[in-house]
Structure 1
Amino acid sequence: MSNSKQRPSDAAAHAERTPNVDDDAPLDPAAMYALMQNQQRSIESQVNGFVPVITMAWGLTWLLGFGALWLIDGARPGFALAMPVAIGIFVACVAVTSALSAWLGIRSGRGLRGSTAAAFTGTAYGVTWGVGATALGVLGGALRSAGMTAEMANFYYPSAYVFFAGIMYMIAGAIWRTVPSLVAGIWLVAIAAAAPYFGYPNHYLFLALAGGLAFIALAVLSLVRLRRLRAAASGSARRG
Protein backbone atom coordinates (compact mmCIF):
# COMPACT_ATOMS: atom_id res chain seq x y z
CA MET A 1 0.00 0.00 0.00
CA SER A 2 1.32 3.45 -0.88
CA ASN A 3 2.26 5.81 1.92
CA SER A 4 1.58 8.91 -0.21
CA LYS A 5 -1.97 9.20 1.11
CA GLN A 6 -3.03 9.39 4.74
CA ARG A 7 -5.86 7.34 6.06
CA PRO A 8 -8.92 9.37 7.11
CA SER A 9 -8.33 8.66 10.79
CA ASP A 10 -4.72 9.82 10.53
CA ALA A 11 -5.71 13.03 8.77
CA ALA A 12 -8.30 13.79 11.44
CA ALA A 13 -5.80 13.19 14.20
CA HIS A 14 -3.27 15.41 12.44
CA ALA A 15 -5.87 18.15 12.07
CA GLU A 16 -6.62 17.98 15.80
CA ARG A 17 -2.95 18.28 16.66
CA THR A 18 -2.34 21.24 14.30
CA PRO A 19 -5.27 23.64 14.40
CA ASN A 20 -5.66 26.13 11.63
CA VAL A 21 -4.08 29.34 12.95
CA ASP A 22 -3.35 32.43 10.98
CA ASP A 23 0.36 33.13 11.38
CA ASP A 24 -0.28 36.84 10.88
CA ALA A 25 -2.84 37.03 13.66
CA PRO A 26 -1.67 39.04 16.71
CA LEU A 27 -0.80 37.09 19.84
CA ASP A 28 -3.24 37.11 22.69
CA PRO A 29 -2.19 39.90 25.15
CA ALA A 30 -1.99 37.41 28.01
CA ALA A 31 0.22 35.10 25.94
CA MET A 32 2.46 37.99 24.93
CA TYR A 33 2.85 39.06 28.55
CA ALA A 34 3.62 35.51 29.64
CA LEU A 35 6.25 35.21 26.88
CA MET A 36 7.89 38.48 27.90
CA GLN A 37 7.93 37.42 31.54
CA ASN A 38 9.51 34.09 30.65
CA GLN A 39 12.22 35.78 28.58
CA GLN A 40 12.92 38.21 31.41
CA ARG A 41 13.28 35.34 33.89
CA SER A 42 15.67 33.54 31.57
CA ILE A 43 17.86 36.63 31.20
CA GLU A 44 17.82 37.32 34.94
CA SER A 45 18.72 33.73 35.79
CA GLN A 46 21.74 33.91 33.47
CA VAL A 47 22.93 37.33 34.56
CA ASN A 48 22.42 36.59 38.27
CA GLY A 49 23.68 33.02 38.08
CA PHE A 50 27.12 34.05 39.31
CA VAL A 51 25.88 35.91 42.42
CA PRO A 52 25.70 32.93 44.84
CA VAL A 53 29.21 31.82 43.86
CA ILE A 54 30.72 35.29 44.28
CA THR A 55 29.00 35.97 47.60
CA MET A 56 30.04 32.61 49.03
CA ALA A 57 33.62 33.21 47.86
CA TRP A 58 33.70 36.61 49.55
CA GLY A 59 32.19 35.14 52.72
CA LEU A 60 35.01 32.61 52.95
CA THR A 61 37.54 35.31 52.06
CA TRP A 62 36.32 37.50 54.91
CA LEU A 63 36.35 34.64 57.42
CA LEU A 64 39.76 33.29 56.43
CA GLY A 65 41.46 36.58 55.56
CA PHE A 66 40.38 38.70 58.49
CA GLY A 67 40.52 35.71 60.80
CA ALA A 68 44.18 35.27 59.88
CA LEU A 69 44.90 38.96 60.53
CA TRP A 70 43.21 38.71 63.91
CA LEU A 71 45.64 35.94 64.87
CA ILE A 72 48.81 37.91 64.11
CA ASP A 73 49.44 39.06 67.66
CA GLY A 74 48.17 35.97 69.38
CA ALA A 75 44.64 37.22 69.94
CA ARG A 76 43.74 33.61 70.58
CA PRO A 77 45.73 32.32 73.60
CA GLY A 78 48.23 29.63 72.69
CA PHE A 79 48.08 30.27 68.94
CA ALA A 80 49.42 33.01 66.71
CA LEU A 81 50.30 33.55 63.06
CA ALA A 82 53.42 35.27 61.86
CA MET A 83 52.64 38.61 60.23
CA PRO A 84 53.93 37.65 56.75
CA VAL A 85 51.86 34.46 56.82
CA ALA A 86 48.66 36.23 57.94
CA ILE A 87 49.07 39.04 55.41
CA GLY A 88 49.85 36.49 52.69
CA ILE A 89 46.63 34.61 53.47
CA PHE A 90 44.60 37.81 53.37
CA VAL A 91 46.13 39.09 50.11
CA ALA A 92 45.81 35.68 48.43
CA CYS A 93 42.14 35.39 49.43
CA VAL A 94 41.30 38.87 48.16
CA ALA A 95 43.26 38.40 44.93
CA VAL A 96 41.69 35.04 44.08
CA THR A 97 38.17 36.17 44.93
CA SER A 98 38.56 39.44 43.00
CA ALA A 99 39.75 37.51 39.94
CA LEU A 100 36.86 35.07 40.32
CA SER A 101 34.39 37.96 40.59
CA ALA A 102 35.78 39.59 37.45
CA TRP A 103 35.71 36.34 35.47
CA LEU A 104 32.17 35.41 36.50
CA GLY A 105 30.93 38.95 35.89
CA ILE A 106 32.29 38.85 32.35
CA ARG A 107 30.78 35.42 31.70
CA SER A 108 27.37 36.50 32.98
CA GLY A 109 26.76 38.77 30.00
CA ARG A 110 27.88 36.38 27.28
CA GLY A 111 25.38 34.59 25.12
CA LEU A 112 22.55 37.03 25.67
CA ARG A 113 21.05 37.40 22.20
CA GLY A 114 20.16 40.96 21.34
CA SER A 115 21.31 42.23 24.72
CA THR A 116 24.54 44.11 24.12
CA ALA A 117 23.79 46.42 27.05
CA ALA A 118 23.44 43.46 29.43
CA ALA A 119 26.70 41.97 28.21
CA PHE A 120 28.51 45.28 28.68
CA THR A 121 27.06 45.72 32.16
CA GLY A 122 28.18 42.27 33.28
CA THR A 123 31.66 42.78 31.87
CA ALA A 124 32.08 46.25 33.36
CA TYR A 125 30.84 45.12 36.75
CA GLY A 126 33.14 42.11 36.82
CA VAL A 127 36.21 44.09 35.78
CA THR A 128 35.46 46.78 38.36
CA TRP A 129 35.95 44.26 41.18
CA GLY A 130 39.52 43.58 40.12
CA VAL A 131 40.36 47.19 39.25
CA GLY A 132 38.96 48.51 42.51
CA ALA A 133 40.69 45.96 44.72
CA THR A 134 44.02 46.63 43.00
CA ALA A 135 43.59 50.39 43.28
CA LEU A 136 42.95 50.16 47.02
CA GLY A 137 46.18 48.24 47.47
CA VAL A 138 48.14 50.77 45.44
CA LEU A 139 46.55 53.64 47.36
CA GLY A 140 47.47 52.01 50.65
CA GLY A 141 51.07 51.68 49.50
CA ALA A 142 51.13 55.34 48.52
CA LEU A 143 49.76 56.38 51.91
CA ARG A 144 52.40 54.30 53.65
CA SER A 145 55.07 56.02 51.59
CA ALA A 146 53.56 59.38 52.54
CA GLY A 147 53.88 58.62 56.25
CA MET A 148 50.87 56.53 57.24
CA THR A 149 51.91 54.44 60.25
CA ALA A 150 51.59 50.67 60.44
CA GLU A 151 49.00 51.11 63.19
CA MET A 152 46.84 53.25 60.92
CA ALA A 153 47.37 50.85 58.01
CA ASN A 154 45.87 48.12 60.19
CA PHE A 155 42.62 50.08 60.07
CA TYR A 156 42.84 51.47 56.54
CA TYR A 157 43.19 48.23 54.58
CA PRO A 158 40.35 46.18 56.11
CA SER A 159 37.86 49.03 56.23
CA ALA A 160 38.75 50.14 52.71
CA TYR A 161 38.18 46.69 51.21
CA VAL A 162 34.94 46.11 53.10
CA PHE A 163 33.69 49.58 52.16
CA PHE A 164 34.51 48.93 48.49
CA ALA A 165 32.72 45.58 48.56
CA GLY A 166 29.69 47.25 50.10
CA ILE A 167 29.56 49.89 47.38
CA MET A 168 29.87 47.18 44.71
CA TYR A 169 26.97 45.23 46.19
CA MET A 170 24.83 48.34 46.36
CA ILE A 171 25.58 48.96 42.68
CA ALA A 172 24.70 45.34 41.87
CA GLY A 173 21.41 45.70 43.72
CA ALA A 174 20.58 48.84 41.75
CA ILE A 175 21.55 47.36 38.37
CA TRP A 176 19.86 43.98 38.71
CA ARG A 177 17.15 45.10 41.14
CA THR A 178 18.05 42.62 43.84
CA VAL A 179 17.06 43.79 47.29
CA PRO A 180 19.32 41.29 49.15
CA SER A 181 22.39 42.69 47.36
CA LEU A 182 21.37 46.25 48.23
CA VAL A 183 20.81 45.35 51.89
CA ALA A 184 24.13 43.49 52.04
CA GLY A 185 25.92 46.47 50.52
CA ILE A 186 24.49 48.84 53.10
CA TRP A 187 25.48 46.42 55.86
CA LEU A 188 29.06 46.15 54.61
CA VAL A 189 29.46 49.93 54.36
CA ALA A 190 28.16 50.22 57.93
CA ILE A 191 30.54 47.63 59.40
CA ALA A 192 33.47 49.13 57.47
CA ALA A 193 32.83 52.44 59.22
CA ALA A 194 32.24 50.79 62.61
CA ALA A 195 35.20 48.39 62.63
CA PRO A 196 37.91 50.85 63.82
CA TYR A 197 35.89 51.52 66.98
CA PHE A 198 36.55 47.95 68.13
CA GLY A 199 40.27 48.65 68.33
CA TYR A 200 43.22 46.52 67.27
CA PRO A 201 43.10 43.52 66.75
CA ASN A 202 39.42 42.98 67.62
CA HIS A 203 38.31 44.94 64.55
CA TYR A 204 39.61 42.05 62.43
CA LEU A 205 37.45 39.57 64.30
CA PHE A 206 34.46 41.88 64.00
CA LEU A 207 34.91 42.13 60.22
CA ALA A 208 35.51 38.40 59.87
CA LEU A 209 32.26 37.52 61.58
CA ALA A 210 30.02 40.44 60.65
CA GLY A 211 31.16 40.52 57.03
CA GLY A 212 31.84 36.84 56.41
CA LEU A 213 28.61 35.56 57.87
CA ALA A 214 26.63 38.27 56.06
CA PHE A 215 28.13 37.18 52.73
CA ILE A 216 27.38 33.53 53.40
CA ALA A 217 23.78 34.35 54.36
CA LEU A 218 23.40 36.40 51.18
CA ALA A 219 24.83 33.52 49.12
CA VAL A 220 22.19 31.17 50.51
CA LEU A 221 19.37 33.67 49.87
CA SER A 222 20.66 34.35 46.35
CA LEU A 223 20.78 30.63 45.58
CA VAL A 224 17.21 30.13 46.77
CA ARG A 225 16.02 33.09 44.68
CA LEU A 226 17.92 31.85 41.63
CA ARG A 227 16.39 28.38 41.87
CA ARG A 228 12.90 29.84 42.16
CA LEU A 229 13.57 32.06 39.16
CA ARG A 230 14.78 29.15 37.05
CA ALA A 231 11.90 26.97 38.19
CA ALA A 232 9.42 29.67 37.18
CA ALA A 233 11.08 30.10 33.79
CA SER A 234 11.15 26.36 33.21
CA GLY A 235 7.50 26.00 34.20
CA SER A 236 6.47 28.82 31.88
CA ALA A 237 8.42 27.24 29.03
CA ARG A 238 6.71 23.89 29.53
CA ARG A 239 3.28 25.51 29.63
CA GLY A 240 4.12 27.46 26.48
Structure 2
Amino acid sequence: MTPEDDAPIDAAAAMRLIHEQQASTVRGLEPDPRVHYWPWGFAWLIGFGVYFLRFSPDGRTIVAMPAWLPLTVLFVLLVAAAVVFGVGSARAYRHVAGESARRGRWYGTAWGLGFFGLSVVIGRVTDSLPPELAGLLWSALSVGLTGALHMAGGAIWLDRTLYRLGVWLTAVNIVGVIAGPGWHALVVSVAGGGGLLVAGALARRRHG
Protein backbone atom coordinates (compact mmCIF):
# COMPACT_ATOMS: atom_id res chain seq x y z
CA MET A 1 0.00 0.00 0.00
CA THR A 2 1.39 3.37 -1.01
CA PRO A 3 1.28 6.57 1.08
CA GLU A 4 -1.34 7.88 -1.35
CA ASP A 5 -3.67 5.03 -0.30
CA ASP A 6 -3.51 6.17 3.34
CA ALA A 7 -4.33 9.82 2.56
CA PRO A 8 -8.16 9.58 2.50
CA ILE A 9 -8.16 7.65 5.76
CA ASP A 10 -5.83 10.16 7.40
CA ALA A 11 -7.89 13.08 6.09
CA ALA A 12 -11.11 11.55 7.47
CA ALA A 13 -9.46 10.96 10.84
CA ALA A 14 -8.20 14.54 10.87
CA MET A 15 -11.69 15.88 10.13
CA ARG A 16 -13.17 13.78 12.92
CA LEU A 17 -10.53 15.11 15.30
CA ILE A 18 -11.31 18.70 14.26
CA HIS A 19 -15.04 18.20 14.82
CA GLU A 20 -14.40 16.59 18.20
CA GLN A 21 -12.18 19.48 19.26
CA GLN A 22 -14.79 22.00 18.10
CA ALA A 23 -17.51 20.21 20.05
CA SER A 24 -15.29 20.06 23.12
CA THR A 25 -14.58 23.80 22.86
CA VAL A 26 -18.29 24.61 22.58
CA ARG A 27 -19.08 22.47 25.63
CA GLY A 28 -16.34 24.24 27.56
CA LEU A 29 -17.74 27.68 26.71
CA GLU A 30 -21.39 26.84 27.35
CA PRO A 31 -22.58 26.50 30.95
CA ASP A 32 -23.92 23.22 32.22
CA PRO A 33 -27.65 23.42 31.29
CA ARG A 34 -28.55 22.15 34.74
CA VAL A 35 -27.23 25.43 36.19
CA HIS A 36 -29.82 27.24 34.07
CA TYR A 37 -32.82 25.06 34.91
CA TRP A 38 -32.36 23.11 38.14
CA PRO A 39 -31.95 25.93 40.70
CA TRP A 40 -35.24 27.44 39.50
CA GLY A 41 -36.87 24.01 39.33
CA PHE A 42 -36.06 23.20 42.95
CA ALA A 43 -37.05 26.72 44.03
CA TRP A 44 -40.47 26.38 42.37
CA LEU A 45 -41.01 22.80 43.51
CA ILE A 46 -40.25 23.54 47.16
CA GLY A 47 -41.35 27.18 47.39
CA PHE A 48 -44.74 26.85 45.73
CA GLY A 49 -45.19 23.50 47.45
CA VAL A 50 -44.82 25.13 50.88
CA TYR A 51 -47.20 27.88 49.77
CA PHE A 52 -49.82 25.28 48.81
CA LEU A 53 -49.49 23.52 52.17
CA ARG A 54 -50.24 26.78 54.01
CA PHE A 55 -52.71 28.40 51.60
CA SER A 56 -54.71 25.48 50.21
CA PRO A 57 -57.95 25.79 48.22
CA ASP A 58 -61.07 27.10 49.97
CA GLY A 59 -59.00 28.71 52.72
CA ARG A 60 -57.84 25.40 54.18
CA THR A 61 -54.43 24.83 55.79
CA ILE A 62 -52.80 21.42 55.33
CA VAL A 63 -49.72 22.20 57.43
CA ALA A 64 -49.96 24.84 60.18
CA MET A 65 -47.28 27.52 59.88
CA PRO A 66 -47.03 31.31 60.17
CA ALA A 67 -48.65 33.13 57.26
CA TRP A 68 -45.39 34.91 56.44
CA LEU A 69 -43.33 31.73 56.17
CA PRO A 70 -44.37 30.41 52.69
CA LEU A 71 -43.61 33.69 50.92
CA THR A 72 -40.33 34.00 52.81
CA VAL A 73 -39.28 30.48 51.83
CA LEU A 74 -40.22 31.10 48.19
CA PHE A 75 -38.39 34.43 48.09
CA VAL A 76 -35.22 33.02 49.68
CA LEU A 77 -35.19 30.06 47.29
CA LEU A 78 -35.68 32.30 44.26
CA VAL A 79 -32.83 34.58 45.37
CA ALA A 80 -30.58 31.54 45.92
CA ALA A 81 -31.49 30.22 42.46
CA ALA A 82 -30.66 33.60 40.92
CA VAL A 83 -27.26 33.64 42.64
CA VAL A 84 -26.40 30.09 41.52
CA PHE A 85 -27.51 30.83 37.96
CA GLY A 86 -25.68 34.17 37.86
CA VAL A 87 -22.39 32.79 39.16
CA GLY A 88 -22.54 29.75 36.87
CA SER A 89 -23.31 31.85 33.80
CA ALA A 90 -20.64 34.44 34.61
CA ARG A 91 -17.98 31.75 34.89
CA ALA A 92 -19.04 30.04 31.67
CA TYR A 93 -19.34 33.20 29.58
CA ARG A 94 -16.40 35.18 30.96
CA HIS A 95 -14.42 34.57 27.74
CA VAL A 96 -17.36 35.20 25.39
CA ALA A 97 -17.56 38.57 23.64
CA GLY A 98 -19.24 40.17 20.66
CA GLU A 99 -22.82 39.58 19.57
CA SER A 100 -23.43 36.58 21.82
CA ALA A 101 -22.36 38.49 24.92
CA ARG A 102 -24.51 41.46 23.92
CA ARG A 103 -27.56 39.25 23.42
CA GLY A 104 -27.01 37.73 26.85
CA ARG A 105 -26.75 41.14 28.53
CA TRP A 106 -29.86 42.47 26.82
CA TYR A 107 -31.81 39.32 27.61
CA GLY A 108 -30.76 39.50 31.25
CA THR A 109 -31.79 43.16 31.36
CA ALA A 110 -35.19 42.22 29.96
CA TRP A 111 -35.68 39.81 32.88
CA GLY A 112 -34.73 42.42 35.47
CA LEU A 113 -36.80 45.27 34.02
CA GLY A 114 -39.72 42.97 33.29
CA PHE A 115 -40.05 41.76 36.85
CA PHE A 116 -39.40 45.21 38.30
CA GLY A 117 -42.18 46.69 36.20
CA LEU A 118 -44.45 43.79 37.08
CA SER A 119 -43.86 44.32 40.79
CA VAL A 120 -44.67 48.02 40.54
CA VAL A 121 -47.91 47.42 38.64
CA ILE A 122 -49.16 44.59 40.85
CA GLY A 123 -48.24 46.48 44.00
CA ARG A 124 -50.62 49.25 42.96
CA VAL A 125 -53.68 47.00 42.59
CA THR A 126 -53.39 44.18 45.12
CA ASP A 127 -54.54 46.30 48.07
CA SER A 128 -58.05 46.36 46.60
CA LEU A 129 -58.21 42.58 46.16
CA PRO A 130 -59.01 39.79 48.62
CA PRO A 131 -55.82 38.12 49.93
CA GLU A 132 -56.36 34.89 48.00
CA LEU A 133 -56.86 36.74 44.70
CA ALA A 134 -53.92 39.03 45.40
CA GLY A 135 -51.68 36.00 45.91
CA LEU A 136 -53.01 34.41 42.73
CA LEU A 137 -52.37 37.60 40.77
CA TRP A 138 -48.76 37.84 41.97
CA SER A 139 -47.91 34.23 41.21
CA ALA A 140 -49.86 33.98 37.93
CA LEU A 141 -48.36 37.11 36.38
CA SER A 142 -44.86 36.16 37.54
CA VAL A 143 -45.12 32.67 36.06
CA GLY A 144 -46.70 34.10 32.92
CA LEU A 145 -43.83 36.53 32.41
CA THR A 146 -41.34 33.72 33.04
CA GLY A 147 -42.97 31.58 30.35
CA ALA A 148 -42.97 34.46 27.86
CA LEU A 149 -39.30 35.26 28.49
CA HIS A 150 -38.36 31.60 28.07
CA MET A 151 -40.10 31.56 24.70
CA ALA A 152 -38.33 34.78 23.73
CA GLY A 153 -34.97 33.30 24.74
CA GLY A 154 -35.68 30.16 22.74
CA ALA A 155 -36.45 32.30 19.69
CA ILE A 156 -33.32 34.42 20.11
CA TRP A 157 -30.93 31.45 20.39
CA LEU A 158 -33.04 28.96 18.37
CA ASP A 159 -33.11 26.75 21.46
CA ARG A 160 -36.00 24.30 21.18
CA THR A 161 -35.73 23.16 24.79
CA LEU A 162 -35.96 26.72 26.09
CA TYR A 163 -38.84 27.61 23.76
CA ARG A 164 -40.82 24.47 24.52
CA LEU A 165 -40.29 25.02 28.23
CA GLY A 166 -41.76 28.51 27.84
CA VAL A 167 -44.80 27.04 26.11
CA TRP A 168 -45.13 24.43 28.87
CA LEU A 169 -44.89 26.99 31.68
CA THR A 170 -47.48 29.15 29.94
CA ALA A 171 -49.87 26.20 29.66
CA VAL A 172 -49.24 25.23 33.29
CA ASN A 173 -49.95 28.78 34.40
CA ILE A 174 -53.23 28.90 32.48
CA VAL A 175 -54.38 25.61 33.97
CA GLY A 176 -53.45 26.80 37.46
CA VAL A 177 -55.33 30.08 37.06
CA ILE A 178 -58.43 28.28 35.84
CA ALA A 179 -58.20 25.89 38.82
CA GLY A 180 -58.11 28.90 41.14
CA PRO A 181 -56.31 30.08 44.30
CA GLY A 182 -54.47 27.35 46.15
CA TRP A 183 -54.53 24.96 43.23
CA HIS A 184 -52.37 27.31 41.18
CA ALA A 185 -49.52 26.92 43.67
CA LEU A 186 -49.77 23.13 43.51
CA VAL A 187 -49.85 23.05 39.71
CA VAL A 188 -46.88 25.41 39.43
CA SER A 189 -44.95 23.47 42.06
CA VAL A 190 -45.39 20.03 40.51
CA ALA A 191 -45.78 20.73 36.78
CA GLY A 192 -43.78 23.97 36.62
CA GLY A 193 -40.93 23.03 38.94
CA GLY A 194 -40.92 19.48 37.64
CA GLY A 195 -40.87 20.77 34.06
CA LEU A 196 -37.79 22.86 34.80
CA LEU A 197 -36.01 19.84 36.28
CA VAL A 198 -36.90 17.65 33.30
CA ALA A 199 -35.80 20.38 30.86
CA GLY A 200 -32.44 20.59 32.62
CA ALA A 201 -31.94 16.83 32.42
CA LEU A 202 -32.83 16.73 28.72
CA ALA A 203 -30.60 19.71 27.90
CA ARG A 204 -27.73 18.12 29.81
CA ARG A 205 -28.05 14.91 27.83
CA ARG A 206 -27.82 16.84 24.55
CA HIS A 207 -25.01 18.98 25.92
CA GLY A 208 -22.95 15.86 26.52
TM-score by length of 1: 0.69
Question: 1:126 and 1:199 mapped to 2: Cα distance?
Answer: 31
Alpha-carbon distance change, 74 to 117 in structure 1, aligned in 2, over 3 angstroms: closer
Equivalences for 1:76-91 in 2 at 5 Å?
A: 79-91=63-75
Which structure exhibits the higher relative contact order, with contacts defined as CA atoms closer than 8 Å and separated by 6 or more residues? 2
Pick the aligned partner of 1:64 from 46, 61, 64. Answer: 46
Q: Which residue of 2 aligns with 1:212?
A: 193
> Shift of residue 197 of structure 1?
1.4
Question: 1:72 and 1:212 mapped to 2: Cα distance?
Answer: 18
Cα deviation per residue 1:129-188 (whole Å; 9 max; x = unaligned)? 34433433333212225x233232121111122112212221222222221111111000
8 Å CA contact 1:107, 1:123 repeated in 2: no
8 Å CA contact 1:105, 1:125 repeated in 2: no
Alpha-carbon distance change, 82 to 159 in structure 1, aligned in 2, over 3 angstroms: same
Equivalences for 1:18-37 in 2 at 5 Å?
A: none
Question: 2:25 and 2:148 mapped to 1: Cα distance?
Answer: 24
Pick the aligned partner of 1:97 from 81, 84, 108. Answer: 81
> Shift of residue 70 of structure 1?
0.5
> Shift of residue 48 of structure 1?
3.8
> Shift of residue 109 of structure 1?
3.1
Q: Which amino acid aligns with 1:85?
A: L
Question: 1:175 and 1:219 mapped to 2: Cα distance?
Answer: 19
Pick the aligned partner of 1:122 from 74, 81, 104. Answer: 104
5+ residue gaps, structure 1, are 1-15, 17-27, 228-240
Alpha-carbon distance change, 166 to 215 in structure 1, aligned in 2, over 3 angstroms: same
Alpha-carbon distance change, 221 to 101 in structure 1, aligned in 2, over 3 angstroms: same
8 Å CA contact 1:55, 1:219 repeated in 2: yes
Q: Which amino acid aligns with 1:129?
A: W
> Shift of residue 34 of structure 1?
8.4
Question: 2:168 and 2:93 mapped to 1: Cα distance?
Answer: 27
Rg larger for: 1
Cα deviation per residue 1:12-55 (whole Å; 9 max; x = unaligned)? xxxx9xxxxxxxxxxx9xx799858954x456435542432120
> Shift of residue 61 of structure 1?
0.9
Pick the aligned partner of 1:158 from 139, 153, 156. Answer: 139
- Local SS of the residue matching 1:49: coil
8 Å CA contact 2:29, 2:92 repeated in 1: yes
Q: Which amino acid aligns with 1:157?
A: W
Alpha-carbon distance change, 78 to 118 in structure 1, aligned in 2, over 3 angstroms: closer
Whether 1:142 aligns to 2:131 is no
CA RMSD of aligned residues (A): 3.0
Question: 2:86 and 2:67 mapped to 1: Cα distance?
Answer: 28
Pick the aligned partner of 2:114 from 132, 143, 158. Answer: 132
> Shift of residue 215 of structure 1?
0.5
8 Å CA contact 2:36, 2:85 repeated in 1: yes
Cα deviation per residue 1:86-123 (whole Å; 9 max; x = unaligned)? 110111122232344344444443213xx411112223
Question: 1:171 and 1:69 mapped to 2: Cα distance?
Answer: 28
Q: Percent identity?
A: 25
